[in-house]
Structures are given as structure tokens and as C-alpha cells.
Amino acid sequence: MSEGRALIFDIQRYSIHDGPGIRTLVFLKGCPLRCPWCSNPEGQKNEPELAFRRSLCTGCGECLGACPAGAIRFQDHSLEIDRRKCNLCGECVSACAPEALSIAGRWMSVEEVLEKVERDRVFYEASRGGITVSGGEPFAQPRFLETFLKACKARGLTTAIETAGYAPWKTIEPILQHCDLILYDIKHPNPLRYRQLAGELTGVSGERIFDNAGRIASLGFPLALRYTVIPGFNDGAEDREALFRFAKTLPGIRRIDLLPYHRLGESKYAMLGRDSPLKKLKPLARQDLEIWVAEGKQKDLGVHIVM
Ligand code: SF4
Ligand code: SF4
């Protein structure tokens, strides 16, 4: 992997939820965690993937003839992809006029990404916004991350990283100096429950994650916690208290963002030929989380619901 390139699955403009002001989000592909509620499953694997949006398919059949590997066929009038045969050549994508097929994940150079994010400089300047690198896990592609953030800062662009914090400290520390804000995802307030929550594929321990959060905060870097509230997993009163207790140990904490669980990511699993792990879970509404805001206020913590 070159230090000047990263596998990127999306660049999203005009975001107002991922750091201050108007921001461009750069999503790096590949994550060591496998959270079952992940709303960006296309960011999990550290390799490109073929994505198929069935709702856009007109059934024209152009992709069948285009595929050199014989990986596409119609079965009961429905298009099926044999992902074991697919070599990601992209011929079917070029043949598909309605853009039902795409490759999630593209290698991009620092210069290419800079060219894209520079397009909205005027919005960053007017709103005190900037660039947020998210994922996947940004620290999983540290060389690109460092080079890119450094280049952004050299051009006067403010920077943020959204991370789940699961990386060696020696990877994280040198990159912090190029970053104005860390958005730090906490999955559960009890680090010992991380392995279970993160699922069976890679289930990681939360201890390193909590340790890294403490180290970042103790160095005085601006830090905001992000917490996706999942019904039945981490939404109990004891979870709330534990999260606030942990937040109070972090000097320099700016805010806690609560992200209520939603099902918007479910269709993406189907697009990638995977089952959504949490199909039957009910989404949460803003009012379900207002008690978190009220109790946070009593503890002098700025708790915000992000929807
Ligand atoms: S990416 Fe290439 S091999 Fe895979 S289904 Fe499309 S055409 Fe076939
Ligand atoms: S080329 Fe696109 S629209 Fe046509 S059958 Fe294939 S996926 Fe569907």
C-alpha cells in the first residue's frame, strides 16, 4: 500500500453532522471491528466489492454479456451474482446504463482527494467547516491519513477524524498533530463487552479503545464522543451512567453525540450480497434519547442527538 493512496468508498459533500460547520467527509474502506449495526457495511472490508442495487435494475441483460467470468445470470427473472467467480474487473459496471452496478472502493491518491475536497472551500470558510476523515477506520490506513491531513492543514483546511479508536497508540499519536478534532466512537461503556458487541468475525477488546481515548484526552486534543444507541445492547440506565462516568474522566471533552440506531444501512447489506445482522431491531426516535440529554446536562456534559 502506497503512502500516497488509500482505498476510499465515498466522498460526501455538505455534511453538517460530523464536526463543526459544513464539511466534506472522506470515507476510508476497511475496519477492524464488525459492529452488527454498522450503517456503512461497504466500509468494513479492506478490498473493493461489487455492489448491486436491485431497485435500479431494468433487467436489460447487458451485464451478462459483458462479464468475462460468467459470474452473472438470471434466475427466476431475477439477476444473481456469483461473488466467488467475480474478479472485480468492472466490465459489468461499464455496461450497466442505469448504474445498478458499481464497485464500492477505489484507490485514490492524496492529490485526487485534495482536488475533490478543495471544491467546497468557500463553504468551509463561510461556516468554519472543513474535512472529516471517516470510515471504515481511518487509522487502518495511517500513511495516507497522515499525508492527507498534513496536506489539508498546509492549505489552511481544518481537519477532523472519526475513529473507533482500535489502533496501536504508536499509529495514532503522530497523526494527532494534523487534526483539529477527534470524533471518537464508543460502542459500549463497558470495555469488556466490546468483544461480544463487535460480533464473531473480528470481535475486538474495548480496553485498547478506552486507553487510547484517555491518552488522546490527556494530551489536550479536542475530543467529542459519539455513541450509537442500540436498543437492548447499550441503551439501559446503567449504560447511560457508565458512559457519562467515563466521559467525565476525559479532560477537554467537547461534547457527546448520540446517534439513535436506524435501519437505513440495511439495504446496503443486500447490495453487497450479505444479510443484515440486526434485521428485526426497532429503530429509535429522538424522544427515546431525551432523557440522555437531560441527565447529561445535570452532569455538566453537552449531550446532543444527531439524526
Ligand atoms: S466485476 Fe467483472 S467479473 Fe465481477 S460480475 Fe462484473 S463483469 Fe463479472
Ligand atoms: S446491465 Fe444493469 S440494468 Fe441491465 S440487467 Fe445488468 S444490472 Fe440490470
Mean pLDDT lowest among 47-56, 194-203, 220-229, 231-240: 194-203
- Mean pLDDT for 209-230 is 94
pLDDT in tens, 5-55: 999 999 999 999 999 999 999 999 999 988 888 889 999 999 999 999 999
Give the Cβ contact number of residue 157 at 10 Å: 21
Domain with CATH 3.20.20.70 in the chain: 5-47+105-305
Determine the pLDDT at residue 224. Answer: 95
DSSP state of 80: E
51 close to ligand 1 (CB < 6 Angstrom): no
Determine the pLDDT at residue 196. Answer: 67
Looking at the domain that runs over 50-104, which CATH code has it been given?
Answer: 3.30.70.20
User: Could you tell me the pLDDT band of residue 1, with boundaries at 50, 70 and 90?
Assistant: very low
Looking at the domain that runs over 5-47+105-305, which CATH code has it been given?
Answer: 3.20.20.70
Domain with CATH 3.30.70.20 in the chain: 50-104
pLDDT in tens, 111-157: 999 999 999 999 999 999 999 999 999 999 999 999 999 999 999 99
Residue nearest to atom 8 of ligand 2 (CA): 57
Whether the pLDDT of residue 276 is over 90: the answer is no
- DSSP codes joined into one string, 21-56: SSEEEEEE---S---TT-S-GGGTSSS-EEEE-GGG
Determine the pLDDT at residue 238. Answer: 95
Pick the atom of ligand 1 nearest to 87's CA: 3
Cα 69 to averaged position of ligand 1 atoms, centre (Å): 7
Pick the atom of ligand 1 nearest to 72's CA: 5
Alpha helix (H) ranges present in 50-181? 62-66, 91-95, 110-118, 121-127, 142-154, 169-176
Determine the pLDDT at residue 203. Answer: 61
pLDDT in tens, 47-89: 999 999 999 999 999 999 999 999 999 998 899 999 999 999 9
Please give the residue that has the higher pLDDT: either 204 or 33. 33
With the most atoms of ligand 2 within 8 angstroms of its CB, the residue from 60, 77, 78, 94 to mutate is: 60
Determine the pLDDT at residue 252. Answer: 74
Q: Are strands 49-52 and 23-28 parallel, antiparallel or unpaired?
A: unpaired
Determine the pLDDT at residue 200. Answer: 44
